Structure 1
Amino acid sequence: MTSEEQRPPLILWLAGVGWDEVRGTDSRLVEELSATATVLWCDPPSRGWTVPLAEMARPFDAVAPNVLRIRVPALPWSTRYGVRVVTAAQTRAAVRRALQALDAVPDLQVVASPIQRFVPGVGGTKVYYQTDDWLGGASLMRLSPSFVSRNIRANCWEADVVGAVTEVLLHEVMGAHAPVRPETRLQVLANGCYEIAPEAGPSERDPVAGLVGQLNERLDLDVLDALAEAQVPLRVLGPRTEKDPAYGRRLDTVLSAPSVEYLGPAPADAVPGHLARLGVGLTPYDLSPFNRASFPLKSLEYLAGGLAVVSTDLPAVAWLGTDLISVARSPEEFAVRTRHAIATRGTDGAETERRAFAAGHTWARRADDLLDLTVVRGSSRHG
């Protein structure tokens, strides 16, 4: 076997968020891909701040095992009309510089961003991967919808594979908006979870429901109000990231209810311990078009922790195809199902089944799916 055949695949990942920002689909999947590949992660062009000169002089930095980050300095208002041309040129130049330093060409080029485009002339199977409804959320990201739309259409047309985290996003959003070539493959590449080992000894779950994650406008406050009115014990962990003042005031009322215990943000390494104490995990997302196209991370995370789950009727839940998630179709039904799950916690013998189901949807499995889909393989992950 030649040295070229032995080298791990090289993946160029044009990311939607910076490596140091909130950990989401991008970084979690890349961490798993790095088990069998080298990943060249390209941050979005920096907006409103200057990369230090010492860092600009380096083509990339090692930020994790087998993950090299490219940082792209950009002019202020880098996504505005007129400046975008300069921004795109800076990105292309930074990527080519990094590849030249590695003396390599990518086997796989992934665009997972509403503002990035495939880099021409560098090679690699092209995968366009949409992790959220970027067109629907353009205004929230302070991006021009027409700019995002043009990027989606161009990337979908160039891609060898078009993937999205949900069927809704893949077919109803992108499928209707962006034409693809006849030979392009469409594929659901859903979010995943990490396996969580059960704690030693018998499970001692508190008689309380849990809501873990960011608290913002994606949550259905009618559901949370119904839980508070029914006096369902609720423990909430996560940062508040809402932007609408009126929503924030309603959220204040919910979090100050006598039946609600708000613990604030929790470090990632503390979450498994919290999950081990909860009686049921909740995914109370509203049914906005943005949420219908999303794949909540928390539902699989709850299952990985052995928890029963109650969720609103999201398409992502239907795609998972399991009765381990109890679906409620009204705020009142949500409260009833949550109370029942608390009352029966630890008595249904399903914790092992929940963990086994989640084990089939880990980030490692998602990484394998992506590599298998694009026929890009290094040495065996498990060998």
Structure 2
Amino acid sequence: MGPTMYISGGRWDDLPGTDRLLAEALAVVGPLMWVDQPAPVFRFRDVRKHLVPSLLGVPEVLTPQLTRLRLPAPPLFSSSAGRPVTKAIARHCMQKALRNSEHPPAIIVNASPVIDFPVWGTGVRLLHLTDDWLAAADLIGFGADYLRRSLERKIEAADIISAVSPDLAAKMSAFSGRTVEVLPNGCRPPTLQTADDRRRPVAVLVGQLNERLDLDVLEALGDAGLEILVIGPRTESNPVTGRRLDAFLSRENVDWRGAMDPRDLGRLLGTASVGITPYADTEFNRSSFPLKTLEYLSAGLRVVASDLPSLRSLTCSTLAVAVSPEEFVELVRIALRERPDQGQRDEMRRLAEANTWDVRAATLIGLCQRPSARTEPSQPDRTVAQPVRGVSHDH
């Protein structure tokens, strides 16, 4: 495969999420240039250090297959005054980098809610919607009208559009009048099964701690006296959420470890018995595909999750879905008592193997190798919903 440019919705140094994990899998197949989300120069030391190379379009070499291009931004870069400057700098840096490349990218993936596709470049342009950007104004920090206009520009420029969940694909198909493919999140390859004697009756929550979580569920689990291991940074912006997280994380039965190296994370997952995905019932979350659910299953953990549309398609006997805080607590209690048998362990392993990031990267490449001519505007019912492997219906 030829080179890929991946315009991300975050920074390489952030907690690894959809963009980084998918980009790393793509970099195994061929050279990849990762493009950071714009970051203010005054706030990030690494952006200041690489300012001149970035403006010259010279990315940092991370591995022989992977480079990183930072996009410096001015103060107040998300304000009405700063956005045009930020956009111009981003366009300049990407254009310079593309012109400096020995081989032009065969694929340009844009997963950023605010950065447009580069004007220059002949690769297939894939717009990958990792979240519902139209419902993300409060979380992203950009106005809803601005995000809508940015999305419309990227839709116009894209050859192919994909989304992480069937609900988001349907919504974006209705919004754009175009076919939207479903490219779900994936997981790391399944780990060797941990011996049962190493696992303790502990529920584990992995990921960012913010407004996306159902705090009613977390508080109910805490009130029930269940032992909970929490791994991930706090990224909340709402003071009320902050106070509730303060109270939850300070409980004696809650062990909060903060952000953690993936190698240490894997070790700790091997000491727990249940992975939890307690998401609030919001428009933004209903369009999501939580990374943590497949990661738990890949680590051999039973899972209890909130009732999100994206999870209804997963068929696994060790995945339980709750519709209320009370039911969530009861399902966690049951999961802590019942260890998976060998057949269930094999089931989780097969599901994880069918949904690794390498599988997702191959699917993305396959989409881009189709005839790249754009389809004519279509009706919403033309949404293409490729099923997740391991779901209840056949391919």
1:211: which partner in 2? 205
Structure 2 CA distance for partners of 1:74 and 1:278, relative to 1, 3 Å: closer
Partner of 2:132: 133
Q: Which residue of 1 aligns with 2:60?
A: 61
Alignment of 1:1-383 (within 5 A): 8-49=1-42, 51-52=48-49, 53-56=51-54, 57=56, 59-81=58-80, 83-172=82-171, 174-180=172-178, 185-198=179-192, 203-347=197-341, 349-375=343-369
2:375 alignment partner in structure 1? none
- Note the C-alpha offset of 1:311: 0.5
Alignment check: 8 A CA contact 1:228 1:260 kept: yes
Q: 1:209 to 1:111 in 2, by over 3 A?
A: same
Residues 34 and 65 in structure 1, CA contact (< 8 A), matched pair in contact too = no
SS at match of 1:109: strand
Local SS of the residue matching 1:156: helix
Q: TM-score, normalised by structure 1?
A: 0.88
Q: Distance in 2 between matches of 1:87 and 1:249?
A: 34
CA contact (8 A) 2:194 2:270 kept: no
**Which amino acid in structure 2 is aligned with residue 285 of structure 1?**
Y
> 1:48: how far off?
4.3
- C-alpha distance in 2 between matches for 1:217 and 1:86: 30
Gaps of 5+ in 1: 1-7, 377-383
Instruction: Give the distance between the partners of 2:161 and 2:278, measured in 1 at CA.
Output: 29
- State the one-letter code of the partner of 1:214: Q
Cα offset, 1:109, TM superposition: 1.3
| Residue ranges of structure 2 left out of the alignment (5+ in a row) | 371-395
CA distance in 2, matches of 1:348, 1:332: 29
Identity of aligned residues (%): 37
CA contact (8 A) 2:7 2:37 kept: yes
Alpha carbons of structure 1 residues 251 and 83: separation in structure 2 relative to 1, 3 Å:
closer
Are the counterparts in 1 of residues 205 and 277 from structure 2 also a CA contact under 8 Å?
Answer: yes
Q: Partners of 1:170 and 1:120 in 2: how far apart?
A: 26
Aligned residues: 364
The answer to whether the 8 Å contact 1:152/1:178 transfers is no
**Counterpart Cα distance in 2 of 1:254 and 1:72:** 37
Whether contact under 8 Å (1:157, 1:179) holds in the other structure is no
Cα RMSD (Å): 2.2
Runs of 4+, deviation exceeding 6 Å: none
Alignment CA distance shift 1:238-1:201 (3 Å):
same
Letter in 2 for 1:178: S
